[in-house]
Structure 1
Amino acid sequence: MNSDRTTAESAELNWVRSSYSSEEGGECVEVAADTKGFVRVRDSKRVAADGPELVIRPVCWAALVGALRAEDAVAP
């Protein structure tokens, strides 16, 4: 999906780091809601203006999170 993001737009978003991420960095994911109603996901190690972002519709994000929670509930 092409979000046509700008550097300023991405920098102004309220990015939230995953609760599973450590303070030392490592494998961290950040999530933000943009002004167009999409959910954006990025690797916290690549937050530069040209770093990739995954842009997802909210209904798809909710389905993904729900599926991950369900999997976590049944994981050994």
Structure 2
Amino acid sequence: MTAATSWQKSTFSGQQGEQCVEVAAQADTIWIRESDVQGMAARASRAGFAALIAGVKAGCFDR
């Protein structure tokens, strides 16, 4: 991840921007961060990120 990384904000974050999730893609890596904590980010492979999104859509993480 570099200073020039191009981050995209989730369209579900709302207009206030208080609870934003952002992602960025670089080669085979997907970076994920919370917009108000820009110094930290988690990284995943493209396959790992796809599995995360599939799990979220399937409700695997619902409580």
Normalised by the length of structure 1, the TM-score is 0.69
Q: When you count helix as a share of all residues, which structure comes out higher?
A: 1
Tell me the CA shift for residue 38 of structure 1: 0.3
Aligned residues: 61
Identity across the alignment (%): 30
Structure 2 residue runs without a partner (length 5+):
none
1:17 equivalent in alignment to 2:9: yes
Match of 2:22 among 14, 27, 30: 30
Query: If you compute each CA radius of gyration, which structure gives the higher value, 1 or 2?
Result: 1
Give me the CA root mean square deviation: 1.8
1:58 equivalent in alignment to 2:46: yes
**Post-superposition CA distance 1:14-71 (Å, at most 9, x none):** 2110111012121110000024x20000111122xxx111011111100000111111
Runs of 4+ in 1 over 2 A off after TM superposition: none
Structure 1 residue runs without a partner (length 5+):
none
CA distance in 2, matches of 1:23, 1:12: 24
Q: When you count strand as a share of all residues, which structure comes out higher?
A: 2
